[in-house]
Amino acid sequence: MTNNINIDWKALEDQYEAATYARYPVVFTHGEGIYLFDIDGKKYTDLYGGHCVSILGHSPQRVIDAIHEQSKQLMFYSNVIYHPSRGKAARKLIEMAPEGFDKVFFCNSGTEANENAIKLAWKITGKTRIVSTIGGWHGRTLASLSVTHSEKLRLPYRFAMPDVSFVPFGNASALREFLSMNTDVAGFIIEPIQSINGCNMAEDAYYQDVRAICDEYGVLLIFDEIQTGVGRTGTFSFCEHVNMKPDIITLAKSLAAGFPIGAVLMPDRIAGQLSNGDLGSTFAGGMLASAACEATLEEIDVKNHMAHAPLVFNTLLEALKDTPIEIRGRGCLIGLKLPVEAKTVVRELFHRGWITGTSDVADVMRIMPPIITPTQTIEEFAKELIDVISK
């Protein structure tokens, strides 16, 4: 983009776009690795990654090359044809996914992945109710919104929603009690780390108990790994940390390093019950998305980037150990519980050239740094954060 400073780019968007986003008062022109540059040439360190998306930093070369090459050959054709890019992306994804996930259904976003996972639960079980968790966040289209706990987002549309109930996150007994009294439950959907809810974690045993309870009551267990997946927490899927397997894993965000994509992973025993037309989308598995996805996964795999995610977390843990800041999350999905309001801290860090984010919990800020972020950058960030808080 040419940096035409005579054009007011903020005013341009404000004039022509529906105003549904709160935005930083900044115009970014380009990104490079973990950095973003604004129209005045100011450099920012991006520890937020466009909301947990830029897992490899900005404009990673392998992904640029893959999109460029593919765009010269065939930009798009729908699922009525076979194409090498889609097959290769699917193969790489299944190779990197935990054992037992044999098939993928591609789509275009996180909410769409959850929407399709919920449809699968209805179809496979023949039952109608979905159970979600208090504080859970799963998307903005109707089925995904129905399992998103936020009353502000959900309640205005409740007249159009399926049967959904919420149980406390991290409390397996509450789930058991609910399922013992309700025989209409098709699926239980959880984020393994509740990100927007302040990177809320549960005990390891919770996930194993949930697995056993869902089996006992014939309920499909859906892991929304839209934030935790693709290696961000140090393993491809969070479930690998806790030695259990959900029935379905949903992915999006990091999966193509910034190119829009979503995916639903499932075992053969579920995929085998699907027939033509059960799920679908025009753009799903498009050539550019597939090429970007395969390149992203390849880069993560061959460079062993997943192994770096725990180092990022541990570096921050060490750097903040003598402070009142409490660190939550895993790998490169991190919540920081502050002794002050997070919003003010995030704003001040922004002025100092650091991009971070808030959460739905007033005193918890979040960072979702690219998994390539050097530990030295994390140490510098910790110093800056401590300084901001002390003031």
Q: Which residues bind ligand PLP (CB under 6 A)?
A: 51, 109-111, 114, 137-139, 191, 195, 224, 226-227, 252
Give the strand pairing for 43-46 and 28-32.
Answer: unpaired
- The least distance separating ligand PLP from the CB of residue 333, rounded to whole angstroms, comes to 10
Q: Which is nearer to ligand PLP, 109 or 315 (CB)?
A: 109
Buried b (16+ CB within 10 A) or exposed e, 34-50: bbbbbbeeeebbbbbbe
**The tokens 């490169």 sit on which residue?**
332
**The tokens 């974690």 sit on which residue?**
201
Q: Which is nearer to ligand PLP, 83 or 187 (CB)?
A: 187
Q: Which is nearer to ligand PLP, 27 or 255 (CB)?
A: 255
- The least distance separating ligand PLP from the CB of residue 315, rounded to whole angstroms, comes to 24
Q: Residue 180 is encoded by which pair of tokens?
A: 């013992």
Task: Report the first-to-last Cα separation within the chain, whole angstroms.
Answer: 38
What's the CA gap between 287 and 381, in Å, rounded?
38
Q: Residue with CB nearest ligand PLP?
A: 110
Q: Which is nearer to ligand PLP, 114 or 235 (CB)?
A: 114
What's the CA gap between 294 and 253, in Å, rounded?
14
- The least distance separating ligand PLP from the CB of residue 140, rounded to whole angstroms, comes to 6
- The least distance separating ligand PLP from the CB of residue 138, rounded to whole angstroms, comes to 5
**The tokens 């919920």 sit on which residue?**
118
- The least distance separating ligand PLP from the CB of residue 3, rounded to whole angstroms, comes to 29
> Edge-to-edge strands of the sheet including 262-266?
103-107, 262-266, 248-251, 220-224, 185-190, 129-133, 164-167
What is the largest distance, in Å, between two alpha-carbon atoms of the chain? Answer: 65
- The least distance separating ligand PLP from the CB of residue 262, rounded to whole angstroms, comes to 7
Length of the chain: 391
Q: Which is nearer to ligand PLP, 29 or 150 (CB)?
A: 150
Q: Which is nearer to ligand PLP, 51 or 91 (CB)?
A: 51
Contact present, 101 and 94 (Cβ < 8 Å): yes
